[in-house]
Amino acid sequence: MDKLAVIIPAYNEEQTIQKVVKDVLDVTNEISESNVYVYDNNSNDNTAELARAAGAIVRSEYAQGKGAVIRRMFREIDASAYIMIDADDTYPVEMIPEMYRRVIEQNVDMVVGDRLSSTYFEENKRPFHNLGNGLVRGLINRLFKTNIRDILTGYRAFSYQFVKTFPILSKGFEIETEMSIHAAEKNMLVDNLVIEYRDRPDGSESKLNTYGDGLRVIKTVISLYREYHPFSFYSFFSILSGLVATILFCWRVLFPYNDTHTVVNFPSLVVSMLFYFVSILTFFVGSILSSIQSIEKRNFEMSLVQTEMKKNRTK
């Protein structure tokens, strides 16, 4: 087992990968039993060759997407601490020792490299990325009652317990959102570390699709909120259906009945009863799923104990 594993997902990053690997090796040379892993994700340039020449351990992931790469990394690598950094040379590698220290000495489960509190909005030249980062951060912190200051950063440190208990479902760039919500919901210790951010060098192109990946991130947030807070999620639809049923019933059925003492709008009566049925159904669905979620949280705490025992055996 490594003491520190620096993991770098890479796709067509020949312009920057060699510099990133060399810089990481320079700042980690004092940490014994540390390794740099580059996982090449079907690059059609010289990314893999340059990373290997710079001193990294290079492996391949043939399923396309950042989520698939990180899933492979987390499965194959055993380490006391992990540092994930992008291959585009936008993050300061000088922060790696401090991130490592917080994981090892302070038992932090996830250290978040916070770009948004420093230079991100000045360095990033894509205005919709700035807007999207702010909106996603506000949405997640409000919905999940956390204080992660940079939800979409690709610069993070993890504990062994986090890596080995994190169920990766996303395939693409929404993986960072999934990590943030998982840590918040599982009561893991999260720490924010302000970092300096610099935009990509000229000639290096981002693989992030502003609109497509942005929509997938929002979809991921909604889906995970439904999974982690089913009672709140389904209660919203229960209340909405109940309000629609009540307004429709009173306006189209009850008020005319008070005047005529006959039901003159049978279709409205049937539709309002259907909305009442949906309201009751979604309420009980939310209640049942909430009970299941409580059981899963208890089981997760037990899995942490088992993971810690496995870590001690592999040391």
Which pLDDT tens digit goes with each residue over 182-203? 999 999 999 999 999 887 776 6
pLDDT at 20: 97
Q: What is the DSSP letter of 201?
A: P
Q: What is the mean pLDDT of residues 220-242?
A: 94
pLDDT tier at 91, thresholds 50, 70, 90: very high
Question: With 80 as the cut, is the pLDDT of residue 169 above it?
Answer: yes
Confidence of residue 123 (pLDDT cuts 50, 70, 90): low
Q: Sorting pLDDT into bands at 50, 70 and 90, what band is 209?
A: low
Question: Percentage of the chain surpassing pLDDT 70?
Answer: 91
Class of domain 2-228: alpha beta
Higher-confidence residue of 150 and 303: namely 150
Residue 170 has pLDDT above 90, yes or no: no
pLDDT of residue 193: 96
Model pTM score: 0.84
Task: List Cα–Cα distances, 195 to 14, 38, 77, 118, in angstroms.
Answer: 24, 22, 26, 7
Average pLDDT rounded to a whole number, residues 256-274? 81
Identify the pLDDT of residue 211.
67
- Counting other chains too, the contacts that 94-101 makes at CB distance below 8 Å and 24 or more residues apart are 94/27, 95/155, 95/193, 95/195, 96/6, 96/24, 96/27, 96/28, 97/27, 97/28, 97/30, 97/31, 98/193, 99/156, 99/157, 99/193, 100/4, 100/31, 100/157
The pLDDT value recorded for residue 116 is 87
In this structure, the number of other CB atoms found within 10 A of the CB of residue 104 comes to 16
Number of Cβ within 10 Å of residue 128's Cβ equals 11
H-assigned helices in the chain: 17-28, 47-54, 66-76, 96-105, 120-123, 127-143, 160-165, 175-185, 210-228, 230-249, 255-260, 266-314
Q: What is the mean pLDDT of the chain?
A: 89
Ranges 54-68, 164-178, 207-221: which has the least confidence: 207-221
User: What pLDDT digit, counting tens, does each position of 155-166 carry?
Assistant: 999 999 999 999
pLDDT exceeds 80 at position 73: yes
The better pLDDT of the pair 268, 226 is held by 226
**pLDDT exceeding 90 applies to what percent of the chain?**
64
The type of residue at 9 is: P
Specify the DSSP element, H or E, that contains 113.
strand 110-114
Question: pLDDT (tens digit, 9 = 90+) per residue, 24-65?
Answer: 999 999 898 999 999 999 999 999 999 999 999 999 999 999
Lookup result for tokens 């302070």: 106
